[in-house]
Amino acid sequence: AQSVTQLGSHVSVSEGALVLLRCNYSSSVPPYLFWYVQYPNQGLQLLLKYTSAATLVKGINGFEAEFKKSETSFHLTKPSAHMSDAAEYFCAVSTGSSASKIIFGSGTRLSIRP
């Protein structure tokens, strides 16, 4: 069975500062990993995904994440935070099996200080 742990339910950074949201996974098979973003009163939108190609994955809005198998991590980063990045971010894992199930972490709320 697979699972995801997101460290920190709330992260606050200043505008222009580095954003780092942490995600660790557990999977008995090579995983597919995702980051989703949820803006207030909306559904979830895919930021980026890792599907066993390049370990450094670039997504939308300047975000990227690096798959580190040795650390079972898939942390999300952005060099310079914008006010528009304030949202909730979810890490997710899937085995990519025929009955594909995507399992989500508990989420990290990102706040941006002016």
Partner 1 sequence: DAGITQSPRHKVTETGTPVTLRCHQTENHRYMYWYRQDPGHGLRLIHYSYGVKDTDKGEVSDGYSVSRSKTEDFLLTLESATSSQTSVYFCATESGTGFKNTEAFFGQGTRLTVV
Nearest to 111 by CA among 34, 45, 41, 19: 19
Nearer to partner 1, 70 or 97 (CB): 97
CB of 25 to partner 1, least distance (A): 13
Nearer to partner 1, 86 or 103 (CB): 103
Give the residue with the Cβ less far from partner 1, 27 or 51. 51
Binding site for partner 1 (CB under 8 A): 6, 9, 32, 34, 36, 41-46, 49, 51, 90, 92, 94, 96, 98-107
CB of 10 to partner 1, least distance (A): 11
Only one residue has tokens 């339910």, namely 9
Q: How far is the CB of 80 from partner 1 (least distance, A)?
A: 26
